[in-house]
Structure 1
Amino acid sequence: MPWVLGLLALTALRLGAAALLPLTPDEAYYWIWARDLQGGYLDHPPMVALWIWAGTALAGDGALGIRLLGPLGLALASLALASAGDTLMPRLRPGRPAALLLNAMPVTNAGAVLMTPDTPLFVFWCLALWAAARLHATGNGRWWLAVGALSGLALASKYTAVLLGAGLVLWLVAEPSARRWWRSPWLYAGGALAAAAFSPVVAWNAAHGWASFAKQGGRAAAGEGLGIRYLAELLGGQLGLASPILLVLCVIGTGAAALAWVRGREGGAGLLAAITLPAALLFLWQALGSRVQGNWPAILYPAACIAAAGFTARGWQRGGAILGGVMSAAILIQAGAAPLALPRRADPTLARLGGWPELAAEAEAARLRAGASFIAAEEYGLAAELSLHLPPGVPVVAIGDRWALFTLPRPAPGGTGLMLRSLRRGEGPSLWPGAVPLGELVRSRQGIEAERYRLLRVETPPGEVPAALLPRPR
């Protein structure tokens, strides 16, 4: 099929971009997770670590290995979405157009190339939507097993997958044709599979003082009372991440799906609305009091793209796909080649991706001049980047409370090292006791400054200060 060939070509391009683009600090940090596999971590569930572990086992500890499963997973998710669309609305058959819209979005292309917890979440969300579509179309309760297992894997990827379960429950309550499932043992068997898939995360939290649940639960409940500021930030971010035309089409399509559900009792359209609308309203409500990160609403777009493909004009869909594709290509080109000499405040790719290997080389030269035995950092992303990019054999030490939750070895006592500390953290006291300033280093890309770091001479911290000796590439 031509569209399958197009998807294969797009996947090949994404694999190339994954291999060539520099790694972000978060990706480097998740690579550390993959070298210390656990049932959970302070920041997120463990699925991203498992994906990186599998990718690096196949392709090594470089950028391609760390990101390998992202482009492959998004290709599978695209096939699942196309099938789900046609299954839910067989009269309109919006599956392939929906997959086109989704793959044109900058947020999808970023998620396919960069490896974060959102990547496996997005894939398992699409697969669970496909299984739910098959359940609705066939009426075969055994599909609850697939829905439950895939939803559990999504929840083991990122906690926001709980919104998928909430949407399914709403559909089961509000859709007359679905209420019969409350009397079926298959529904509860699927729920048991979801709980089993998530149980390692619960066990890890129970063994670590519920650290991850407390952190993420506190973030969800946070409120700073700044109202319109964060709401405008959220909406502006979605205009860039989804692209303007596609965002509008998704909003219109989801609204039309909800109306079709209410007026015509179309259960397939109702499933799309139930999965999308409550979660969207939750993000909007949270943005009235605290920041909603731009990537969080990405989970809304698979179902919204099906609704957009089914209920909006094809001409607008083509125009939106072209604009989204152009925006995606421009972002990836800027991230890799930086043809535009933009300052940090105008170029997120510079802030996150620019100059890490060069910074590591300068840090190593400074270490040799100072006669230090190791390189250290307080910021987890900076420490992880140094661990990936410093020459083999150079010990990298990370300091901070989060490292007490890992099983990584502690640094040997009595050593003298060189620590990097971002000036963006301000002039407050260092976490490392007795740090002595020595100078500064600058991370830059093509002569444009991304970040400035203070160099400090440090000694291995006492035992009560959490620190870890980070793994190095194999």
Structure 2
Amino acid sequence: MNPWGWALLALTAARLAATAVLPLAPDEAYYRIWSRALAWGYLDHPPMVAAWIRAGTLVFGDTAFGLRVMGPVGLGLASLALWDAGRRLFPERPEAGVWAAALFNTTLFVNAGAVLVTPDTPQMVFWCLSLWALARLHASQDGRWWLAVGGMAGLTLLSKYTAVLLGAGIVLWVVLAARHWLRDWRLWVGGLLAVAVFAPVIAWNAAHGWASFAKQGGRAGTEATHPGLRFVWELLGGQIGLATPLVFLLCVAGVAAFRRRPAGGLLAALVLPGAALFLWQSFGSRVQGNWPAILYPAACLAAAGCLGPGWDRWRRPAVGLGLTLVVLGFVQAAWGPLPLPRRQDPSLARLGGWPGFVAEVEAARRAGGYGFIAAEEYGLAGELAFLLPGVPVVAISDRWKFFDLAPPPAVTGLLVRSERRGEGPPLWPGAVPEGGVTRARNGIEAEAYRLYRVTPREGMPPAALLP
């Protein structure tokens, strides 16, 4: 095995270890519920993340490691795909594949996706595999690869709806630079295969009032009346930080230099439409930092293969800086050695203090003799269900009407509600205040919660007993 292979193996092992150390994030705990109630669709996303979690927990149990194990393994496979794609697209530059994979693996969002399981993780893996199939197609001109492209693109769509940008990029490339494929029946069969793979999600939406399509499609709206450039600068700053500064610089320069290489047009087509869409949206509403992550596999390939020799000296510093930031971020997320407040430390907000907090909530439940614990926030409900096995946990909100889960027990329970939801009344009718509790890490507050006494009654919003 060459040094690159050993480095990838060591990185995958480190990520696997991190999956067992980091506390579960609320979104992960929510997706765990999906894996216990498998369906072809959910209000928020397609079902692939649920299938990944289910596969991991069947082998390694209902643990943080079991929930997350598919992430490091899948991204290891994605890294190999990028390495081979670089070799195929830039045969004159044999090191392009190695550097593309190295740059890709030193970004913060890739490493976060490797240890925290979200729909972005399988989407990134299948996006890279789709890109690999496209590279094989471009290099060999063998139309049979369109079938692999279609299959992988369908699996990418089963992971997250933003995968439509992959299809848009492929169409743009074919129309502008590879029109000869329009006469090949295998292109059209590949497209039909992608639709066939995604068809169960369409059927689920049709049976549920198009709820998921409507929810995600509505995100491309206007969040502020006169936002100015606030969200634009936020998007740019977020990408510089999450990609790490030097990797971001190399990616932008590589895509800008796409005309220097025959394969550059394909890579630019997979980056520029998505970049334009996210930039357009940022003029009216916030773009979450993880959304553009899917553009970076192709951008890293462009950075490794399209830039001239003068850029070579920036690669090693980019990888070194990226890995340093990744290690620092992991240490802070796992142990919080820097006493940063919530607004400066996303890891505190999402990961900090859950075991102690849940223990306090359970103590309050026992002291009051309550039959269950309830929550309005889906992530909070998921955390309670994961960390309190054997204790009935009830979630209440409209999203639970899309799940086939048991109703809450007809006894008095304890509702936990974040103070960040404001001073309005809880969703649970007739809730009676019963005090409060705080979630903290190393004495630094992550979030404050109010407690309420509640009882199931007629006319309340949808509620479910979580597995």
Shared fold by TM > 0.5? yes
* Residue of structure 1 equivalent to 2:29: 28
Q: How does 1:13-412 map to 2 (within 5 A)?
A: 13-93=14-94, 94-175=96-177, 178-224=178-224, 225-257=226-258, 259-260=259-260, 266=262, 268-310=263-305, 311=307, 313-390=311-388, 392-412=389-409
* Kept in 1: contact 2:429–2:460 (CA 8 A): no
TM-score by length of 2: 0.97
Aligned length: 461
Q: Which amino acid aligns with 1:421?
A: R
Residue 348 (structure 1) shift: 0.5
2:436 to 428, 436, 440: 440
Q: Which amino acid aligns with 1:402?
A: R
Separation in structure 1 between the aligned mates of residue 461 and residue 292 of structure 2, nearest angstrom: 37
Residue 463 (structure 1) shift: 5.3
Q: Which amino acid aligns with 2:27?
A: D
Alignment identity in percent?
Answer: 63
* Kept in 2: contact 1:432–1:461 (CA 8 A): no
Residue 416 (structure 1) shift: 0.1
Separation in structure 1 between the aligned mates of residue 441 and residue 405 of structure 2, nearest angstrom: 32
Residue 24 (structure 1) shift: 0.4
For structure 2, which runs of at least 5 residues remain unmatched after alignment?
A: none
Separation in structure 1 between the aligned mates of residue 319 and residue 390 of structure 2, nearest angstrom: 48
* Kept in 1: contact 2:151–2:190 (CA 8 A): yes
* Kept in 1: contact 2:428–2:460 (CA 8 A): no
Residue 227 (structure 1) shift: 2.8
Residue 181 (structure 1) shift: 1.1
Separation in structure 2 between the aligned mates of residue 343 and residue 464 of structure 1, nearest angstrom: 37
Give the secondary-structure state (helix, strand or coil) at the position aligned to 1:221: coil
Separation in structure 2 between the aligned mates of residue 46 and residue 319 of structure 1, nearest angstrom: 38
* Kept in 2: contact 1:356–1:443 (CA 8 A): yes
Residue 464 (structure 1) shift: 5.0
For structure 1, which runs of at least 5 residues remain unmatched after alignment?
A: none
* Kept in 1: contact 2:223–2:285 (CA 8 A): yes
* Kept in 2: contact 1:84–1:134 (CA 8 A): yes
Distance 1:235 1:184, change over 3 A: same
Separation in structure 2 between the aligned mates of residue 330 and residue 104 of structure 1, nearest angstrom: 12
Deviation string for 1:225-273 (max 9, x for gaps)? 413111111111111100111101100010001x336xxxx2x111001
Separation in structure 2 between the aligned mates of residue 409 and residue 243 of structure 1, nearest angstrom: 45
* Kept in 1: contact 2:99–2:304 (CA 8 A): yes
Residue 369 (structure 1) shift: 1.0
Q: Which amino acid aligns with 1:129?
A: L
TM-score by length of 1: 0.96
Residue 222 (structure 1) shift: 3.9
Q: Which amino acid aligns with 1:148?
A: G
* Residue of structure 2 equivalent to 1:455: 451
Separation in structure 2 between the aligned mates of residue 65 and residue 393 of structure 1, nearest angstrom: 19
Q: Which amino acid aligns with 1:437?
A: P
Separation in structure 2 between the aligned mates of residue 53 and residue 196 of structure 1, nearest angstrom: 23
Q: Which amino acid aligns with 1:183?
A: R
Separation in structure 1 between the aligned mates of residue 393 and residue 381 of structure 2, nearest angstrom: 7
Alignment RMSD: 1.0
* Residue of structure 2 equivalent to 1:417: 413
* Kept in 1: contact 2:53–2:67 (CA 8 A): yes
